[in-house]
């Protein structure tokens, strides 16, 4: 047992269960994919450095990725492209990706950050603020955010006028002003708009 952040894992480990933690990065941005990751740690694993990805610096997250991947029994990452987000809506697209990971994991119990998963045979515990209360969810949040941030830096090279490397697609003042000036690019989500936005867009 490490601390309160692994209390959910410890509870299930003591029952002999394999636990997968699942979390996402990028549900809220106006541009770019959403990324969902899952992590299974061996019974008794603990690392005090693993925490909610939003509480860590980019350098800390980058360092933890290799630690998580080398100590986990299993990791999996699913990238949800913009067209799927627009087709299914962000909530359903994220939920579907989480269900896929849950099934792929073959775990006995699924822990999510407050996301209910219906229509799967595996028990799911949706934990409010789970990325700060579950070691496995926190680790999944780190993997997902690191992958997504890396993708947004690549998109920044392709579409430099929007500043994706800085705001990662979120609706900052700079980002909104760029959309008003240049229109939308192919990685902007059609289903995410803001009050003063024009209808100018690239052909997608």
Which among 16, 24, 7, 19 is positioned nearest to 115, based on CA atoms? 24
| Alpha helix ranges (H) inside the chain | 7-13, 58-71, 82-88, 90-105, 135-158, 164-167, 173-182
Collapsing DSSP states into helix, strand and coil, what is residue 76?
strand
In the annotated binding site for a divalent metal cation, the residues are: 23-24, 113
d(CA 147, CA 42): 23
Q: Are strands 19-25 and 34-40 parallel, antiparallel or unpaired?
A: antiparallel
Which among 50, 44, 48 is positioned nearest to 68, based on CA atoms? 50
In the annotated binding site, the residues are: 23-24, 113
* CA-to-CA dists, residue 109 to 78, 92, 112, 132, angstroms: 19, 21, 10, 18
Q: What does DSSP assign to residue 21?
A: E
Angle between helices 58-71 and 135-158 (to 10 degrees): 120
């Amino acid at each position: 047992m490490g601390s309160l952040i692994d209390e959910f894992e410890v509870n299930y480990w003591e029952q002999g269960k394999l636990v997968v933690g699942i979390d996402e990065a990028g549900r809220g941005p106006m541009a770019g994919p959403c990324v969902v990751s899952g992590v299974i740690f061996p019974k008794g694993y603990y690392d005090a450095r693993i925490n909610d990805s939003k509480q860590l610096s980019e350098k800390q997250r980058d360092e933890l990725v290799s630690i998580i991947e080398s100590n986990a029994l299993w990791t999996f990452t699913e990238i949800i492209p913009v067209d799927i987000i627009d087709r299914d809506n962000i909530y359903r697209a994220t939920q579907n990706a989480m269900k896929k990971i849950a099934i792929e994991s073959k775990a006995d119990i699924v822990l999510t950050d407050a996301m209910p998963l219906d229509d799967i045979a595996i028990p799911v515990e949706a934990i409010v603020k789970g990325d700060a209360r579950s070691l496995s969810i926190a680790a999944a949040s780190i993997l997902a955010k690191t992958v997504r941030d890396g993708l947004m830096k690549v998109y920044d090279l392709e579409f430099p006028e929007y500043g994706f490397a800085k705001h990662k697609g979120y609706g900052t003042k700079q980002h909104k002003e760029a959309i008003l000036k240049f229109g939308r690019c192919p990685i902007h989500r059609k289903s995410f708009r803001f009050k003063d936005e024009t209808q100018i867009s690239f052909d997608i």
